[in-house]
Amino acid sequence: MGNGNVEVLLGVKSDPITYRYSFAWLFDLMAEEGVTYLQLGTFFELYHLPDEYFLRLREEAEQRGISISSVFSAYRELGGFLSEDSDLVRVTERNYRRLIEVAALLGASSCGASMGALPRDCLTPQKREKGILRYLEKIKELLSYAKSCGLSWLTTEPMSCFAEPPCSSEEVRRIGEELTLYWQKHKTSVARFGFCADVSHGWVDRNGNLKEHHLSLFTATFPYLHEFHWKNTDAIYHETFGFEPENLSRGIINAREIRSLILQYSHLLPERHLIGYLEIPGPKLGRDYSDYLLERTLRESLRYLKRVLSEKVESTSVR
């Protein structure tokens, strides 16, 4: 799955099983499909569960040959650093520290979260900029805590709207450069900052105008890229779905094109191993007629991505 310069590995994010299937069910499915990397998605109870829960979960995964290599938010619950409300900032910092501890207990090398969202009724360029600066200040403090807990990386994710920074190549480079320089100055005492990119994220404004193409947003992360999400989407980044045959025909994400870009610009990447986690919402949650469809969605999407990643490098034909 690599070209000698970078190896592109396949994993799964656990989001679609939440309140639907057990971790044991997912671990078994992954083992059967030969996919061994899990990114744990957050769930409401995670921040309050005891250490022992995560040690048991880690053991359960390892017994099936699964490595919980990353932890990343499933919601926007760690977005309080963008807020002017000191209570939200304080709770976000406390929960982020717990997320770091959880990642360490699971044996993950990284954890992260989206920066969050500013309420649209309060959204001004000035408040947005203050929120970004507050995030940068707080994440620098957390990089130190992450290092002390044994993590190598903290990550965030470029998003698809102005209310959720970063959403442009320019912002990705600004944040990535500032935090990379900070890490370079304090390597012995802080973890590294990077991006958990999403190949399906681009930016379309309220009038339907394309502001940032998903491929330009993705490639902007390359100098700071630690991991990424595989996901399919439509032309305006509205719906997200997997890579089953019926969704390949309606989606715009060409997995071969993504792989080709990674290999073409592998010299920009900070690491020689890059894990892309399948991150899909799955079918409608909480319905007898839809929940069981998740197994097919996961298996067919994983099999398709495995085929693409195992092709010879010179094979760059479309789907």
**H or E element that contains 68:** strand 67-72
Residues forming a β-bridge with 232:
241
Q: 7-310 maps to which CATH number?
A: 3.20.20.150
Three-state secondary-structure class, residue 190:
coil
The confidence score (pLDDT) of residue 318 equals 40
pLDDT at residue 314, rounded to an integer: 64
Classify 32 as helix, strand or coil: helix
Tokens found for residue 34:
């030969």
In terms of residues, how long is the chain?
Answer: 319
pLDDT in tens, 272-284: 999 999 999 999 9
The answer, as to whether pTM is greater than 0.85, is yes
Question: Which pLDDT tens digit goes with each residue over 20-45?
Answer: 999 999 999 999 999 999 999 999 99
Domain boundaries, the chain: 7-310
- Residue 100: predicted pLDDT: 98
Per-residue model confidence as pLDDT tens digits over 187-244: 999 999 999 999 999 999 999 999 999 999 999 999 999 999 999 999 999 999 999 9
For residue 166, cis peptide bond before it (omega within 30 degrees of 0): yes
